[in-house]
Amino acid sequence: MIARTLAAIALFSAVSLPAAAQYDDSANINAAFAQGQASEERPETANEYWTCAAFWHVWSDFAADEFGEAMMAKLAPPLAESAGREAFTYWEGQAALKMGLGMAELDAETELYIELQTDKAWDLAEGVVWGEDYSFVSILGQCAPPPAQ
């Protein structure tokens, strides 16, 4: 499950010291995303849906600004800024539906969970920016929304 992946990544991230990458690492990002997509792990619970929403929200907040237009053009289409926003919206909606709630009806426990997952996503995103750890992008691959029908 995604929770196990996050626990392993947190342990790895705690012992890794990032060093800024000054090169085009779009191939590494695309490979990590493809690895996540190829994984059999998919979100199943409402909390895992919230995790996916948080990770996609963070991706759409930082990727285009951090990597720039030229590198974003080299990334897999699901990693485009607009696709990231759509994935965030998709998972946020799926989580609320699974819980039988509207966004204005979230309880304090769910809001705290979302906040913690967003913080975790920002921590892992740093590894991508520094070119050291692409596990964040692998999780995005696991959280790729199903194709539109």
By mean pLDDT, which of 12-21, 45-54, 117-126, 139-148 is the weakest? 12-21
pTM for this predicted structure = 0.82
Query: Quick one: how far is CA 69 from the chain centroid?
Result: 20
Concatenate the DSSP letters of all residues of the chain into one string.
Answer: -HHHHHHHHHHHHHT-------S--HHHHHHHHHHHHHSS----SHHHHHHHHHHHHHHHHHHHHHHHHHHHHHS-GGGSHHHHHHHHHHHHHHHHHHHT--GGG--HHHHHHHHHHHHHHHHHHHHHHTTS--HHHHHHHHTPPPPP-
**Contacts (Cβ under 8 Å, ≥6 apart) of 60:** 81, 84, 85, 87, 88
> What is the average per-residue pLDDT within 114-143?
95
Residue 75: pLDDT band (50, 70, 90) is very high
Distance (Å, rounded) from C-alpha 42 to C-alpha 34?
14
- pLDDT tens digits, residue range 3-48? 545 544 443 443 333 333 446 889 999 999 999 999 999 999 999 9
What's the average model confidence in pLDDT over 98-125?
Answer: 89
Looking at per-residue pLDDT, the higher value among 89 and 6 belongs to: 89
Kindly report, residue by residue over 2-13, the tens digit of the pLDDT: 654 554 444 344
Q: What is the mean pLDDT of residues 126-143?
A: 94
Q: Domains of the chain: which residue ranges?
A: 25-142
Q: How far apart are CA 54 and CA 58, in angstroms?
A: 6
Cβ atoms of 13 and 127 closer than 8 Å: yes
